[in-house]
Structures are given as structure tokens and as C-alpha cells.
Structure 1
């Protein structure tokens, strides 16, 4: 019969599309990768009324590409030329990603625009079920005069999405309309789950060059933005990089411990090295080695993988009270690593390689960390054992590229072929993880030994308590034995030594003092949080007003541009909206910045710089209300050992009071003056405003305003609206620093509020 030709059954399309691509997420992922490969900077997903749209502002496709590549199964322009015009390493090459459309719905329409052509392509995927041979299936391809905006605007109910479309989509791009959808898109939970899954598919490093949005009819641009927000509240961070010359660079960041004001004492007494001083203060441990050296073997291990890198985080979710005290943990209350971001995930050219690190999958623990820990279950402080991290304590990203030819994708896009190189790759990462494990165990062993040394106080305290109890029993027995003389007692062989060395008793006292200091620090943090609440409550009316004005300006800009065609007026409205946005940012800086973690540790602080930075944020707010603020200091620097948030809370509460006071009409410029200086080896912080001053009831005895729950803030009906806690917080904070408040000037000055704060130079050490 001679040579015969192969043919392809139309059912092949079903195998490639619906049955090969696992789920909605996989289908969307294929199409999103195509957008990235097309050099798009924006990709938009939009669901409305039974229709799903996917649009990008990439380079689009011409007729030649559609006919020769798009319509040919397995053919891709990316096989040989896998670098885009913008230099992106392209993620696709198998020529089957377009069948993801079949997985999503029965019918697909594509509008694609290049600079010289606009084409509409339509296909009904059900045709593949009713034909014998794939060559019998036809798609419609026609020219069009529609723009991308016109195509989407006909059925779009989300004005914010249309605004984004107008600003980001210009002359080229592609948009798909998918109908007769196969999944439950009307279910809000389905969409929420889809968004959560998409957020893990794109690493945080890609957001600068490629933005992904998922719109419904009602959400805003910010709500629609999909971003991978890897939690950065970590205990340890591990960065590694392997370059073209097989050089390995590793950085280990310690972020788990807080020795507070006892830093120097603990470093010295626990036996840490001089280098550790830096490592405990945000300077990373840096390691540079050859690739082969990472494996700690005499046999040379060649790098057959190529260039790759990673960022891995260790984060514990909870800890016992005993361990927090023993190991000086930083505050982690409220910490959580969302399930979607847990696990170590793998990315190729900035896109997820599923299912590595995916919760609920067999490849969640693809590094086999659990098995590794079972083989070495030693506790972290074990003197001889090797502590190993659990799989649920690590998360992060490892980045490879298409150029890593020895790590090829499986045909179904569900992982990497288990080559020898892939096993080498996994083992390399485990070796890198071991550097972190060794460092953490080193620190814990030091602290464990230190704890045994200092907690001799517990033994001594118990001894004191036992002897005190026996003393009590002895005295009771003495009263009951009237015929026995005192000398007989002294000669009694069972007489117990009830004396305790003063040096040992002091150890107990010192430990109790330490516990008290910890409780005091917790109390201070609560005061800082209270200040944030006070400030926010005071300005909530202002924030609401700015938000309303911002919305109105945006609406005006749209109406002036779209309805009236008045570009000039629209621009003015947008500029006002930008001013409103900046105002909101200023409010948020003032209300939220004071509780940042880096402000809740003891450190030597330059008060001049601290107050200047703080007042810069306030100045943006106060100037809008016609209030000027000046800061004067006779010194270049004023060093003070403190918690940042405590000193900032003093100023925040004072400025909040002045802000409220200036709401009362005053026939003068509104001014606030803050002066910082040194007087008689003390720090003097003077505060004054030219507002109406204290009410008469406080004029005679200004110290009354320092009492808790005492407030002058009332509404027009005389109802108390102030918390009465601001001045109390200031008073308590100053007293904690062994300082004094002087309000006496308020008795003699007719106008304004005046306060002098005197604190010992140097602060608390």
C-alpha cells in the first residue's frame, strides 16, 4: 500500500484542553503567561453576567502568526526565539496554551491588535466533539475596526476598570471573551478562591513590570489588584544566589531575638562573638563558596543546573511564655502566615511551577523536610543533636529559568521531570537551609547555657521559700514547747540553717526586677496603641471628609473628560484628587507609624532627627488647617536611650490636643512651637501653642488635666467626646523616664497651652 499519512482525531483538542489542564487556575495561568510573553505590562481578568474576559496590552498578533502558529497545535514562535522584544525569557513553548480557552468555556472570541492590523477570531469548542478529524474544524478570522476599549466597554459595568483600560491600553493588545462557562463563576466564593490561587502564581518580584487584576462589576482597582504579599514578619531570612561561574552567595538574616536594653550584657555573658553583635542588629551573615563546597564533600559536585536563586523565610507562629523569656523572642502576637503563602514555591521566569509548595498537594513538602526532621528530631537547644526545621515553618520562593535546560517541565505543566539534576537541585537547597539551621541552633545553645546560669536565681528563691516555711514551723513549735529553753533549741541536732547569702538573695531580686521591666514594657506598648486610637478617633471626621472629597474629584474628572471632553478641567480635578490622596497618606503616617516594630525596641536615638521626621508628617496635615509648626533645637544631636514610640506618643498627644483646640475660632495665626535643648545636664522639651488655652477650671490647677479620663473635649451638646487618656499617657511616659512635667506657665499666660518636660540626659540605660 506504500506510505500512509497520520491523522489526528478531533477529540485530541479535548485531551489537550479540558482534560490536560487541571482546573480553572491552570487554564487562567496558561493565558496569563501568554500575556506576559507578549510583553504586556497589564493583564486584566473581568467576570460579568456569565462572561469572562481576559485582556492584555501586549504586542498582539497578526494574521501570519494566527494562521501559522495559533491555529497549529504544538507550534509556537517561542521554541527557537524565546526572548521577547523587551528581553523577557518567554514562559511558553509547547504550542498548547491556547486550548486553555476550551477548559474555561464553550465559545471564545479574540480581538487582537497590532499596529497595522485588527483581527477578530472566533471558535466554538463544541465543534471538536462533532467532527472526526481535527482538520475539519474551522474558526472564523475577520478584520475589524473595533478598539480594545470598544470591545470591552459594551458589556462592562465597572467604571474603574474602564478607567484603567483607557490609561493602560493604547494601540496594541489582545482581549478574549469566553462564554458558556464551565464553572460556577456566579459564586463569590469561587471567584475569591480563584483570586487567592492566582496570587501565589506570580512572585512579589514581578509586580513592577507586570500587573494582574481581577475585576467584577463592583470592585475597585486596588481591590482587583492581585499581588503576592509574602509575609515579611519573619524570624530568619535566607537569600541565596548561584551565578554563571558557579559561585554561591548566601545571606542569613537573624530577626528572631530582642535583647533590649540588656544587649551588651547578654552578648558578653552568653559568650557571643564580636561578629554576633552585628548579626543581631540587622547585618546579615554572608557566606561565599564554590558550588561544590556547599555539599561539604571531598568529591567534586558539578553544577549541571545553571544560574538560580531563592528567598526562604523561617517563621514560628506561637511560642510558650517560658521560651519567650528564655530565648528573648521578639513580639510575634498576631503573626500568621496565610495558607496560600505557606510552603517553598518554585518559579520559572517569574511564574509558578505547580504544584511545588502548594498546600494540600503531595508536593507541598517537595524538599522532604518532614522526612528529614523525623531522622533528626533533636530539640533546638540540644547540646549534641542536629535540629532540623519543619516543613510548616518555612515559606518563600526559589527562582529558575527556561535557561535551566536540565530542569524541563512535564508535558502537562504539573511539575518538573524528575531528572538527576532535579534531585541535585533539591539537595542544594537543603544544604543552603542547613546553614540557617546551624546558625539558629548555635544561638539557642548559647542562650540555653546563659539561661541555666542566670536561672540559678530560681533555685535560690526556692531555697529561701523552703527556709522561710521551716522558720515558720520552728516558731510555731517554739510557742508550743514552753518548757524547752532557747539554748536547748540551739543544741538541737535537727536545727536547720535558715540563713541565706545576700549575694544569692540579690539574684532573686534582680530576676524579679527583670520580670517587672517586661511587664512595664508591655504596658508601654498598650499606651502607644491607645495613643494611636486617640489620634485616629480625633481625626476620623477629617479622614472621612478627605475621602469624600477624593471621590468627588475623581468623579468630576471622569465626567469632565468623558462626558464634556474638557481635558483641562479634568486634569485640575485629578490634581486635586492627588492632593487628597497625599493628605490621606499624611494622616495614615501620623496615626499608624508609631506602632511599627522597629520603634518598639530600646535603642540610642537622636531626638532631633526623631522629632524632625515626625513633625514632617504632621506639617503636611496642619498646614491644610492653617496651622504652622516650628521646631527649634540649639543642639545638632540630642542622644537619648528610649523606645521611639514612647517619645513620639508624647508629641502626638500634644499635637492632637492643639488640633482640637484650634477648632475654636481664634483671631490670630495658628502656631505651634516645639523647643528641644539641654539645660543643667537635663533634656528640656518645651511645647506651646497660641490657641485658646486651658478652660478656666484647669487654669488654676493645670495638673488636673494629667488625671486619667479627664478631658476638655465635648461636642456641641456638652457630651464628653474625648477619651481623657492623652495627657495621662504623657504623664506616665515622662515618669517612666524619671522626668518631670511643668504646667505652671498655664496659670499666668492668658492664651495658649504650655508644657515643659524635663528628663535626665541619656534616657534609660
Structure 2
């Protein structure tokens, strides 16, 4: 029977190549100290000599240590399952390690490892165990079991205390000022601002050996940070602390929890306004294709405005008096980002300024005034362990696997930000911090008569009045003509925007029809010369001729139907309003979404109250309104776990109007958004443009009708009103 026999260099492969860099390797050792119930870990780095030789790195903690048996049976066993099986430390901390390879990060840092572990079991004396490893031996020896590791154990002395001390000599990397700055940034972001307080776990970094004489720079000032003079006095200069206390400094904040189903419950706070928490409730969305559940998520995200006055406000709150706006923006950029944390510790690289894992900058291109940028957010997203969340950390310690659970996490947080962006935009527009987007022309038309000027002219002496009145009427007529031209242009834009909603369906159906026509017509053309042939082929060709011709005819009819459906939104000259059957237009719109309706498992219910649905206006206007409302309904039903998913169409009529109500049982719309639903640019879709409902309303007003949202209805309901036919 053959057996696997690992080569000795597999350990170096794990240590040197699986761990991404020296910063990541050192963080693995810090996490091991946390898992050992240490209250603190102390790191000291001494630089290499001028000839790039030597160097020393030590990591010491005051945890429970390791016994000789632990070292042999666990530490020296690659991929041990010890932490997976225990999951909780003796003092109750949830274990950060699970892969069983983090200790081999020491091979990444230097050639020689000296480890001293002190451990005291109940009722026994302190045991001190030491092992020494030359990592280069794992290249000179052929197989793993041929490597000899120096190992000894003894009874501890009077001054010995439990814990682990690691010394690494002959460092592989030069710790330059740039690399040390990167390390300090990593350590500052390692512990969650909340988790660090709860666990009382402290990280100390001693860089005092880096001086102008030995390294060309002052190492300890790197630990203090660029704003060392602003930090508190009489504080241990080696302690790692966040550069800014961003936890309590923000313009806007959203915090809360997603439960395991994806339901969010939290609050939004606006410190530039009244600072009163506004509750946020978001119902769980259905899993999209490729997504899997990601467990419970707790988050807190701070949001910052970046215009001059807002930056001045942050400077004052952070105590950065004397720092200019440019430097303040640079410092904010270096300490911004949304980190993902597990058991109080950050998962690299989420939260780095360079890692836009939510793709905020890509979204912001669509609408910079509404969408948040990566440099406007700071936050903590806390996830559960791998077993409960499905969010697995890569062995390289460079992020999470991009599996279905990660896709779900990303979408839940992004969808929450979409809601928050609208709350922030509402306030900024009302407070005058951002420009309002252009609306319809109704207000302009109302003032086009220049009534105020007309009243003043009427107060003039008669000899002047006629001349001014003629000039006023001329200008008023010109203004009204310009408004009509603008409205015509708006209608053309609405037609083309609506056309975009049907293009995908047209291409899908059109290709299907054309493929059938092309294939069958080619078969008929190729066999036409043998149509009278007395053979098996000729007999088969003649018997299938009628079927193929009929199929071509049906596909051609399908194409013709598509073209007719597009005709009302083609943007041609409108002419006079006409009488038409709204039910036919409604069915055409539903047909265009038939594939999406079927894919999402949506049921269409009609509740006709006996109205004829004969209306007067323009088919293009009704089609534009229906397409946008149905498009929104299909989208939100696709995110809803509700079953069955239903679009309900109810019709009725009054003496003057026909009423069409379109309802769906998708996610409800929060009350605070009702007033903005038809505002251009307003959207709760992650990738939305915010013009759909605005187009729907403008289109219906072009036919002397209207679209409204029914906030009192049980389901999400939009109501279209259109003039009844004169017949």
C-alpha cells in the first residue's frame, strides 16, 4: 500500500508562500496571543546591521502559555484541529485561529526561532518548555520526519510567569520606515474599536532600536503617529491606539443588526441635523442566484461630508486645531474604510483605504451627489464564525473566500447604504448643502404669464401702458413657446428612456424569432431543388414543408408584434390625442416582461371592476408609465422572500377618469420616502438611475392624467389615472 510522505519544505511553503507578507505574519502571532487569553502582547523589533544581516523580532504575551505536551501534540502538528474542536479559550474568548498554520508565519519573518512557553496546570509547579528551530533545515532535509528540533523542558523559577516568548533572529525582511508605517496601520486597525474595550486586549510595539544613528529615522515616533503632539501625555508610547477616535465623530451614522434571514433593524442619526435616531427597518430579501446565507451581522457605519465647512467641523471635533483642510483630508483618507471583523479582530484587507470591497466608487460614478464614496465612510461590520456564517477566511490571510455567503454579505450592506444615501440626500437638499435636481416644468409654466409684472404695468399712466403691455405679451408668448419646446424634448427623452426598458426583451425575443426563421428558411432553400425527388429525403422534405413554413410565419408574426409594441414609444410626432383600449396596452407591457415574470415566479392577478378601459390620450404615455411601474415591481419582487409573489391589477372608473392600480406584495416602502418617490434621481435600487417613476408621472401628465403612490394600501400600490374616452 502506498502512503504520502510530506517533503520537509512543505512547512516553508506554508510559512513563506501562504502568508502574504511580514505584516500578515506578525498579525498571526498577535492573534495567537489573543487566543491564549493574554491581556497584552508586546512586540519589539531591532533593525538589521548595515550589511543587511541579523536583526531581532520578539513577541511576548502573558497568556496561559503551553505545556510540553501542547507543544508536541498541537504546536508542532501542522493543520491541527485543536482550535476548531475547542473554539473557546479557557477564559471564554472565541478562537481567532482555525487553520492550524498561523504559527508557521515565524518562518516568514526570520531564519531562527527560539520559543519559550511557561505553563502552570492546577496543583502543579510551573513548567517551562523551550524549542529551537532553524527554518532553513526544512530545505536541506528531504522529508519532514528527518528534521530535528531542539526541545527541552524544566521546572520554572521563582520569577517565571505563564506566557509565551518568541524570538526570531536573522530577519528575512528589512523593516524600513515605510514597512513599519504599514505595520502600525495594520495594528491600529486590527482590533475593533468596540472589541478592544470589551476584551481589554492591548498591543504594544517597541521600535526604540530604530534611531537616526541605526536606521536613519526615529522608529518610536511612527508608533505615536503623525499627530503625536496631539495625543495624551503620560501614556505608554509603545501602545497601539487608533489615530483618530472616529467611533464617536461623524456627520451621519447608521447602526443596527441583520438577523440570519437578512432582516435589518437599526437607526440612522444625523449629527448635522437634530441628532435624533430615526428607526430603520428593512425586510429580508430573497437569496439571489449564487448567494448563500451569511449569518447574523452587526454593523456601525459613520458617514462624512467632504465639502470645506464639513471638513472644518471634523477638524474641530477631532481636536486637530492648526491642521489645514488639505492635511485633514489626507489624514481622513488614510484612516477611512469599512472593516470586516470577527470576534473583535479585523479580517485583512477590509477597511484598508485601498480596498473598496463594496465597490462604492464604481456606484458613485452614476450619481456623485447621491452616492457615497469610499473616502466618506468609516465603519465596523461584525460577522459570526465560519460555521455559523459560511464566511471563510483565506489561508493567505488576505480576505474572505468570495463564495455565496460573501456575495450575500456584500449585497445586504450595499442595500442598507442605498437607504441611508436617500436619508442623507433628503437632509442635504433641505439644508441647502447640495443642489436640487431639476423637476418638471409646471412651476415654470405657472409663472410664464408674468402676472406680477402685468399688475405693475396696469399701475402705469395710460400713455405708457399699451407699449409695455405689448412687449410683455410678446415676451410671455416667447417664454411659453420655449416651455412647450422643453416639454416636447422631455417627452422625447421619456420615450427613449422607456425604450431602454424593453430593449433587452426585444433583443431576447427578436433573436429567438430570427434564429427560427434563419434555420428553417435555410433548410427550405437548401432542399428546394429536391422537392419533387422520389426518395426518402424528398418524401421527408415534402411532409415537413408545411410545418416549417408555418413556423416561419409564426416567428415573423412575433417580430411584427414586437415592432408594434415599440411603436408607441418610438418618439415620433405625437399628433392629436386618440381614444384607445388601455387593457391592450397593459397586456403588451406585461408580455414584454414575460420572461422576467416567469423567472421570478410572479403571479399576475386581474381584478376588473367592470370598466371598459377606453381612455383618451397617447398610448406612448400610458406605456411609459406602465413599463416603469412593472419594471420596479418585478425587480423588488425578485428580492422578496414572499410566496406567492403577486402583481395585482385593479381597474375602476369615475365620471371623468379611468383608474388603474398596480399592487405587488414585495418589500414595503418606508414612510419617510413616500414624498420623494417621484423626484428625479431618487432610487432605492443599488444600481438604479432614479428616473423611472419621474418619467412615469411626466408621461401621464402629457396625456392630462397622473400617477400617484397609495400610501394607505396594504401592498406597494401605484395608481394611474387617465381621462375616459369620449365615446
TM-score between the two structures when normalised by the length of structure 2? 0.50
TM-score between the two structures when normalised by the length of structure 1? 0.47
Q: Which has the higher contact order (CA 8 A, sep 6+)?
A: 2
